[in-house]
């Protein structure tokens, strides 16, 4: 009798917190009778600032309807999202990459802090938000899937948008004219239509097996997207019932599939930061070398902007989307990988067929024999640097010229405004890496400015937008702030770039770099008192390791 009383007390003590938490949820309007059903977190990155996210409330409503219809309870919360298009060209871009970690942390805090969830759906579209959500899913390992915000339609071709930007920079178009033309390229909600980081990471979510088939590039708020969002709500309940978690989906083989897809479509260089960061949450390593090894055997098949100026991801979706592209790549991917459908990759893509061979070329007749990204090494980047070779004109893939060195994006802007950039220069913008920036800014506006030159190269320890093209080499590791070779360069140093040979070097006398290194003094990190940028600068790893927090 005494033992039974003790057991009853223990049971009451254990049950007490659950009873109180149910009371709190009832205060939020949740029906008490529903709280013994599976509770699903709906992590939404909606806000009124980011075009790719402004419509996610409507998708979330569909997701929650699907969860309810399948016997679950959906509880929604929000996280942040930064628009890289708005953040470009000023100090705000320093916050973009660090926001990835903040997003993952905030989702972890909401889920683990409340301790009530059985599964999770994450909603996002854009650059750092999709990988941040996937990092959280990997970290938490609850049955989870990704609902993607899709793509805005483009009413003009990429080349028309690019021409308008060039005209503005050359003083031939005023602000209102640029806004009016750009609004025809960016006409509404959804990710921007080019194959930038947003659409790259949407596609790679599906390639990893974490999003439903063919949802990567659906038109935002189309009937098919709304239906897919509701199906996602139903499917997360099935994942809960079957106990299928992200760790059983995002395996080493799944990441190799994603890398193969990235290279076959010439996706954003930023994916070489984000895939390793997601893998890091799972205890996996994806070094730069893996990207280059796969690039040498997986051809470039799907050419949309910025790899050409005719087609966008809307055309890629029309041509069959991710299932068609992966079906074309079958001999280069692991078909047995599990996905959120509960089926394998091979089963998901089995009926995928290419509907437009101008967009997705046959494996036997690729655009190029190698993938869209190359990893360069040499005495300027011992740990590697990245270039989107699919967006570099063949005549520029071997290039040499004198270095013109700047210690920030702002220094470069000032030099350009004074007419100090010339054909044949190798522009070096350093101290823009994870620690040096801090925050590893994208230098997309710099690549747009340099678009007026026919023979100029850009090298940086910063990043590039997925929209960037031309001879733009970034992510150079180790970065200048850690004493990497870019910190040792001087104006006039002869730089040699050889993309086919994968080399990036400065041609100076033997021992010269060692002499300069001995004399080099670290620059004081920029003061951001109490700022997340200061914390990130102190903890960020090399770009070659995903720029994750250590």
| Residues catalogued as catalytic | 465
Indicate the pairing of strand 503-506 with strand 494-498.
antiparallel
Distance CA 273, CA 6 (A): 54
Contact between 306 and 391 (Cβ < 8 Å): yes
Contact between 150 and 313 (Cβ < 8 Å): no
With 0-12 CB in 10 A as exposed, 13-18 as middle and 19+ as buried, what is 358? Answer: exposed
Across 513-533, b (16+ Cβ under 10 Å) vs e yields beeeeeeeeeeebbebeeebb
List the beta bridge partners of residue 287. none
Contact between 395 and 491 (Cβ < 8 Å): no
**Cis omega before residue 306 (within 30°)?**
yes
Three-state SS at 414: helix
Give the list of residues 6+ apart from residue 490 with CB closer than 8 angstroms, or none.
Answer: 403, 405, 516
Give the list of residues 6+ apart from residue 148 with CB closer than 8 angstroms, or none.
Answer: 123, 124, 125, 130, 202, 205, 206, 211, 215, 216, 218
Question: In this structure, what token pair is assigned to residue 268?
Answer: 């954003």
Length of the chain as a residue count: 550
Q: What is the DSSP string of 116-139?
A: --SEEEEEE-STTHHHHHHHHHHH
Within 407-485, residue ranges assigned H as helices are: 409-417, 444-449
Per-residue H/E/C for 208-229: HCCECCCCCCCECCCHHHHHHH
Question: In this structure, what token pair is assigned to residue 325?
Answer: 């592209």
- Residue 312 CA to its chain's centroid (Å): 17
Q: What is the DSSP string of 523-537?
A: PPPPP-TT-HHHHHH
- Report the candidate in 195, 390, 201, 398 with the shortest Cα–Cα distance to residue 298: 390
For residue 409, how many C-alpha atoms fall within 13 Å in the half-sphere facing its CB?
27
Sign of the alpha-carbon torsion through 380, 384, 386, 389: positive
Per-residue H/E/C for 179-206: HHHHHHHCCCCCECCCCCHHHHHHHHHH
Distance CA 29, CA 433 (A): 47
């Amino acid at each position: 009798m005494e033992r039974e009383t003790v057991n009853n007390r223990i049971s009451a003590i254990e049950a007490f917190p659950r009873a109180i938490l149910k009371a709190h949820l009832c205060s939020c309007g949740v029906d008490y009778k529903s709280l013994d059903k599976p509770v699903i977190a709906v992590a939404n990155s909606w806000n009124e600032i980011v075009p790719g996210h402004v419509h996610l409330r409507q998708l979330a409503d569909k997701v929650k309807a699907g969860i309810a219809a399948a016997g679950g309870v959906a509880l929604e919360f929000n996280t942040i999202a930064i628009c890289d298009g708005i953040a470009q060209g000023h100090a705000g871009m320093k916050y973009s990459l660090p926001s990835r970690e903040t997003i993952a942390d905030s989702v972890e805090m909401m889920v683990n802090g409340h301790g009530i969830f059985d599964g999770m759906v994450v909603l996002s579209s854009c650059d750092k938000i999709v990988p941040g959500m996937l990092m959280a899913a990997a970290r938490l390992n609850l049955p989870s899937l990704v609902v993607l915000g899709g793509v805005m339609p483009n009413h003009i071709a990429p080349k028309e948008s690019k021409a308008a930007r060039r005209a503005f920079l050359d003083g031939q178009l005023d602000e209102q004219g640029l806004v009016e033309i750009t609004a025809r390229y960016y006409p509404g909600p959804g990710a921007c239509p080019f194959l930038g980081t947003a659409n790259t990471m949407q596609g790679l979510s599906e390639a990893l097996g974490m999003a439903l088939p063919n949802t990567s590039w659906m038109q935002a708020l189309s009937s098919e997207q709304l239906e897919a969002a509701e199906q996602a709500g139903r499917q997360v309940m099935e994942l809960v019932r079957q106990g299928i978690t992200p760790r059983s989906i995002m395996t080493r083989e799944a990441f190799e599939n994603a890398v193969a897809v990235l290279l076959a479509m010439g996706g954003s260089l930023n994916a070489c930061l984000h895939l390793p960061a997601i893998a890091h949450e799972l205890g996996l390593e994806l070094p730069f070398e893996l990207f280059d090894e796969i690039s040498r055997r997986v051809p470039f098949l799907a050419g949309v902007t910025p790899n050409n100026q005719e087609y966008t991801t809307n055309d890629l979706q029309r041509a069959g989307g991710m299932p068609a592209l992966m079906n074309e790549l079958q001999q280069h991917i692991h078909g047995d990988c599990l996905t959120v459908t509960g089926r394998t990759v091979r089963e998901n893509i089995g009926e995928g067929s290419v509907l437009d061979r101008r967009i997705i070329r046959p494996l036997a007749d690729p655009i190029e024999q190698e993938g869209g990204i190359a990893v360069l090494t040499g005495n300027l980047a011992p740990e590697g640097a990245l270039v989107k070779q699919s967006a570099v004109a063949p005549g520029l893939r071997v290039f040499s010229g004198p270095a013109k060195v700047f210690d920030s994006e702002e220094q470069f802007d000032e030099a350009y405004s004074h007419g100090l950039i010339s054909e044949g220069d190798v522009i070096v913008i350093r101290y823009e890496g994870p620690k040096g920036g801090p925050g590893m800014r994208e230098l997309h506006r710099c690549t747009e400015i340099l678009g007026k030159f026919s023979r100029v190269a850009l090298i940086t320890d910063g990043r590039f937008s997925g929209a960037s093209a031309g001879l733009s080499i970034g992510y150079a590791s180790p970065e200048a702030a850690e004493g990497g070779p870019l910190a040792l360069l001087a104006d006039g140093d002869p730089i040699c770039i050889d993309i086919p040979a994968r080399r990036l070097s400065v041609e100076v006398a033997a021992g010269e770099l060692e002499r300069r290194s001995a004399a080099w003094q670290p620059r004081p990190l920029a003061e951001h008192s109490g700022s997340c940028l200061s914390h990130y600068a102190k903890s960020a790893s090399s770009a070659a390791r995903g720029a994750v927090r250590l």
